Each structure stands twice: as structure tokens, then as C-alpha cells.
């Protein structure tokens, strides 16, 4: 258990940040899930719109330190490739 005032403050601050970061990660996952649902339904145009909405959220996650830059790039790239494949198949 923390005894110093500064360490108690650090524990409170870390708990607040964890809540905020958890909400941000959840938001990013929701946007990605919308893209994946549109891809799964076979709707390329909806998937493109959803990806356009998801890209800024993913980039914001990188800026806030929630995701690594390469992880974000990989996610966007793979979603784009799946949409492209869906278009070509149709």
C-alpha cells in the first residue's frame, strides 16, 4: 500500500487514465467491428464508408499512445485489402 502522498496521487491518476484509455480502445474496436461486419455482409460500399470513419479513430489511437504506429498501419492495410478483394469478387 502506498504511504507517500505522491504515490497515492499516482495511483489515483493511473486509475483515471486506465478508464480513459479503456474507453478509447473500446471505441476503436467498435469502429473496426463496423468495418468487419460490412465486409462479412458482402457490402463493399458500406465497408468503405465504415473504413473511412475508422481510419481517423485508429490514427488518434496512435497519437494518444494506445496503439503502435505499425499495428495501426497493419490493421488499416488488412481491412483495405479485404474490401478490395470484396470489390473484385463482385
pLDDT surpasses 80 at 3: yes
Check if CATH label 1.20.58.110 holds for domain 5-89: yes
Q: Which pLDDT score, from 0 to 100, does residue 1 have?
A: 77
Site of grid cell 462479412 = 40
Q: Helices 44-63 and 69-89 sit at what angle, rounded to 10 degrees?
A: 180
Task: Report residue 32 CA to chain centroid gap.
Answer: 6
pLDDT surpasses 80 at 90: no
How far apart are alpha carbons 69 and 59 in whole angstroms? Answer: 8
Residue 38 is inside which H or E element, if any? helix 5-40
Q: Which pLDDT score, from 0 to 100, does residue 79 have?
A: 97
Site of grid cell 455482409 = 41
Amino acid at each position: 500500500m502506498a504511504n507517500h502522498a505522491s504515490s497515492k496521487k499516482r495511483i489515483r491518476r493511473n486509475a483515471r487514465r486506465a478508464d480513459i484509455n479503456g474507453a478509447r480502445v473500446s471505441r476503436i474496436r467498435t469502429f473496426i467491428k463496423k468495418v468487419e461486419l460490412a465486409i462479412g455482409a458482402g457490402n463493399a460500399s458500406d465497408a468503405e464508408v465504415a473504413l473511412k470513419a475508422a481510419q481517423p479513430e485508429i490514427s488518434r489511437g496512435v497519437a494518444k499512445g494506445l496503439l503502435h504506429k505499425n499495428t495501426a498501419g497493419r490493421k488499416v492495410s488488412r481491412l483495405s485489402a479485404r474490401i478490395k478483394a470484396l470489390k473484385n469478387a463482385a
